[in-house]
Amino acid sequence: MNPFQYISPHTVDSAVSLVTDHGRFLAGGNDLLGEMKEYIASPKLLVNVKGLPGTRDITSGKSWTIGTNVTISEIEEHTELRRVFPGLQQAAAEVGSPQIRNVATVGGNLAQHSRCWYYRHRDIQCLKRGGSTCYAREGDNRYHSLFTGNPCISPVVSNLAVALAALEAKVIVRRGKDEVSLTIPELYAKAWDNPEAHHSLGPADLILRVQIPDNGRTSAYKQVSEKASFDWALVSCAAAAKVDGRKLSKVRVVLGAVAPIPYQVQTAHDFLEGKELTDDVATHAAEMILKDAVPLDYNGYKVPIAQALIRRTLKQLVG
């Protein structure tokens, strides 16, 4: 790890002005410190944002607001969040281990970088690190994307992003002197087109909070991993809808770990709108969502897993 300076500002204005192009924001540190130890990232300044005022609160009203420094375990254990947004609680419960969830933050989970082993290898200059080749395409791609808009096939790995996309949450970001509101698709849009991007945030953009509309929809989240706990998702799925008996409306179905963005297909949402959920309806929705999948040599197994997860997550909505 290279030497660096460390500072703890007391205001958002100070934090944003300090970070510049040579610094990084530090909260839980699970992702950033790993990159620094492997010499993937070598910031000259770490700006500690854990103590910024108003970033540890969870509040409710017409929408719920979750501060960027709320920990994953606080989401997992929050009784009212679990009742109103069960899918979000289920997603939080699948993040790492209890020890990791106790320090990992909402903002850090959303802004984390790729877990592709070629990107994470200190001696490999892959496409996402400014090189000319995505080594996973012709190499070991068992954990990589089925969909992408650029040559890099590293998938998004944030559990919370998948659940929040289904809930149509917005992320409030400090960008320069302004606060901007980004949907989850907007937060990750740049990663679809740009192989070097992990998300749409600039180096001095700071996530402040997440806002989730409380519009009477229920939600669910499921994932399949190689291990029963403390493991990344091979495929994840979140769904949200208003439910009347078995009839669905305002439906959103989102896949994780299969694309550089939380992946959803509008035509599948349109198909599900107003439908009674049956096995045939769930199966057809899954086929629509996965229609454009492009399996590689070692990740074709993700397609049937995704099909099963979509069906099971939709069925969980109706009980």
Q: What is the pLDDT of residues 124-183, one digit of tens each?
A: 999 999 999 999 999 999 999 999 999 999 999 999 999 999 999 999 999 999 999 999
What CA–CA distance (Å, rounded) separates 63 from 208? 16
Same fold, 58-112+154-213 and 218-317: no
User: Does the pLDDT of residue 302 top 90, yes or no?
Assistant: yes
User: Does the pLDDT of residue 21 top 80, yes or no?
Assistant: no
Residue tagged 């000319």 (tokens): 132
Q: For position 1, what pLDDT does the model report?
A: 87
Question: Where do the domains of the chain lie?
Answer: 58-112+154-213, 218-317
Q: Which distant-in-sequence residues (6+ apart) come within 8 Å of 222 by Cβ?
A: 90, 236, 237, 309, 312, 313, 316
Q: What is the pLDDT of residues 277-290, one digit of tens each?
A: 999 999 999 999 99
At residue 292 the predicted structure's pLDDT band, cuts being 50, 70 and 90, is very high
At residue 228 the predicted structure's pLDDT band, cuts being 50, 70 and 90, is confident
Average pLDDT, the chain: 97
Strands 63-67 and 58-59: antiparallel
What CA–CA distance (Å, rounded) separates 295 from 106? 31
Q: For position 319, what pLDDT does the model report?
A: 85
Q: What is the mean pLDDT of residues 235-240?
A: 98
Q: For position 216, what pLDDT does the model report?
A: 94
What CA–CA distance (Å, rounded) separates 101 from 120? 22
CATH of range 58-112+154-213; options 3.30.465.10, 3.40.50.1000, 3.30.565.10, 3.30.70.100 = 3.30.465.10
What CA–CA distance (Å, rounded) separates 154 from 161? 16
Q: Which distant-in-sequence residues (6+ apart) come within 8 Å of 56 by Cβ?
A: 67, 69, 70
With a pLDDT cut of 70, the percent of the chain lying above it is 100
At residue 68 the predicted structure's pLDDT band, cuts being 50, 70 and 90, is very high
Q: Rounded to whole angstroms, what are the CA distances from 236 to 2, 79, 106, 319?
A: 36, 23, 18, 19
- Under CATH, which number does the domain 218-317 receive? 3.30.390.50
Q: What is the mean pLDDT of residues 260-287?
A: 98
At residue 311 the predicted structure's pLDDT band, cuts being 50, 70 and 90, is very high
What CA–CA distance (Å, rounded) separates 297 from 231? 22
At residue 230 the predicted structure's pLDDT band, cuts being 50, 70 and 90, is confident
